Amino acid sequence: MNKINREKFTALSFFLSPMILMVVLFYLVPLVMTVYISFTRMRNWNVEKYLTEFVGFYNYQRLLYMFQHDPTFKAVILTTVVFVGITLIINVFGGLALALATFFISEKPASSFRLLWLLPRMSPIAVYSLVWYYFFHGSEIGTLNSILMKLGIISQPIPWGQTVPWGAWSIIIFVNGLVGVSFGMIVFTSALNQIPKELIIAARVDGASAWEISRKILIPLTKWHFLYVLTWQFLSLLTTYPHIFLLVQWDLVNRDYGTTLALYVFNTAFGRGEQDQGLAAAAAVILSIIGVIGGFVTLKVLQFEKMMKRPRGDF
């Protein structure tokens, strides 16, 4: 190794080793451990007893069996499909709608609204859940119930979250949708701001309305961002659970129809009562396989690699 190379090596190890250490410690090692646990009978975190007790594909077979015969697990899978599908549509189109709407109003109210819609993402998850706990509460103290009763639409409070399946689904979709919308909104807003103003001014001079401008100019020019938000949010929705964790924990929503697969994994490994880490790990492995495939498809579709240029400051 000549001098330049050795210097470069020293510098690189200085800059990169803490990050690599963290990735190894908290991504790679745990990943291997999760796969490992999925082949053991680990339960109740009894590491001493179960860590070396191999059961082969037993946990995966159990998952398959549950998928076919267990109504609770069937409800979880169905909930995951419905939840991801509908929330994805809300996130993408809600984000686009918000971005377009704030694009056509003056800067001051626009940025206030954008900020307001970041609130769900920024506020602590426990406070956010607390807000919706009271909003959708099934008795007359629930805000939604009391509004509808005051308006005379309903005479009895409705236990929204315990009305299965759509009551429970609506709540978890609504609560997560609000968090996700801001992602689409911000990406689309920055996309809209990159569009040359001349295009819009020209269309405006020709007498185009806001709706026509959106449909003919703005939306076609944000195609890449649309794909980006769609695939990215799909991956996120498949795997996030913190925002619905407390709603289920507090019994605001029905346990079976308020639990997605990701939350199921967490509750099976760390929840109340009997914990079954072997089963949870097997489900987590399946979830990761879907996630990784989705991640690679995303990279290919969006051609992220083209965005990575060689650094200029190197010689």
Partner 1 sequence: MKDVETRPSKYEWVIILAILFASLPLILGFSLLVLSSFSKEMVTNLDLSSFRFTLENWINVFQGKLATTGGIRTNILKVTFNTLVVALGVAGVVTFISALSGYSLSRIDFRGRKHMMVLLLILHAFPGVALIVGVYLLYRLTFPQSPDIIRLYSFFYVILARAALEIPMSVWLMKGFFDTIPWEFEWSGIIDGASRIKVWWKIMLPLIKPGILAVALFAFLAGWQDIIYVRTFLIDQTLATFIEANIEAEYSHMPLIAAAGTLYLLPTIIFFLTAQQILLQGYSGGIKG
Nearer to partner 1, 79 or 182 (CB): 182
Q: Does 16 bind partner 1 (CB under 8 A)?
A: yes
Q: Does 106 bind partner 1 (CB under 8 A)?
A: yes
Nearer to partner 1, 239 or 254 (CB): 239
d(CA 274, CA 139): 31
Distances from the Cα of 103 to the Cα of 95, 181, 205, angstroms: 12, 16, 18
Whose CA is closest to 28, among 290, 288, 304, 295?
288
Residue holding tokens 């009997």?
A: 274
> Taking the complex as a whole, how short is the minimal distance between the CB of residue 116 and partner 1, in angstroms?
6
Q: Which helix (H) or strand (E) holds 298?
A: helix 277-302
Q: Does 274 bind partner 1 (CB under 8 A)?
A: no
Nearer to partner 1, 157 or 165 (CB): 157
Among 49, 53, 72, 140, binds partner 1 (CB under 8 A): 140
Nearer to partner 1, 87 or 256 (CB): 87
Instruction: Give the footprint of partner 1 on residues 50-89 (CB under 8 A).
Output: none
Long-range contacts of 148-151 (CB under 8 A, 24+ apart): none
Among 11, 64, 154, 301, binds partner 1 (CB under 8 A): 11
Among 82, 165, 235, 255, binds partner 1 (CB under 8 A): 235
Q: Does 143 bind partner 1 (CB under 8 A)?
A: yes
Nearer to partner 1, 103 or 257 (CB): 103
Q: Does 147 bind partner 1 (CB under 8 A)?
A: yes
Q: Which two tokens stand for residue 133?
A: 């706990």
Q: Does 176 bind partner 1 (CB under 8 A)?
A: yes
Q: Which stretch binds partner 1 (CB under 8 A): 61-69, 71-79, 141-149, 162-170?
A: 141-149
Q: Does 118 bind partner 1 (CB under 8 A)?
A: yes
d(CA 126, CA 272): 18
DSSP 236-297: HHHH--HHHHHHHHTTSS-TTTT--HHHHHHHHHHSSSS--HHHHHHHHHHHHHHHHHHHHH
Q: Does 224 bind partner 1 (CB under 8 A)?
A: no
Among 103, 160, 169, 226, binds partner 1 (CB under 8 A): 103
Say if residue 179 is exposed, middle or buried (CB neighbours under 10 Å; 0-12, 13-18, 19+).
buried
Q: Does 101 bind partner 1 (CB under 8 A)?
A: yes
Q: What is the DSSP letter of 162?
A: G
Q: Which stretch binds partner 1 (CB under 8 A): 57-65, 67-75, 162-170, 241-249?
A: 241-249
DSSP 97-117: HHHHHHHTS-HHHHHHHHHHH
Binding marks (x or -) toward partner 1, 177..216, rule CB under 8 A?
-xxx-xx--xx-xx--x---x--xx--x-----x------
Q: Does 141 bind partner 1 (CB under 8 A)?
A: yes
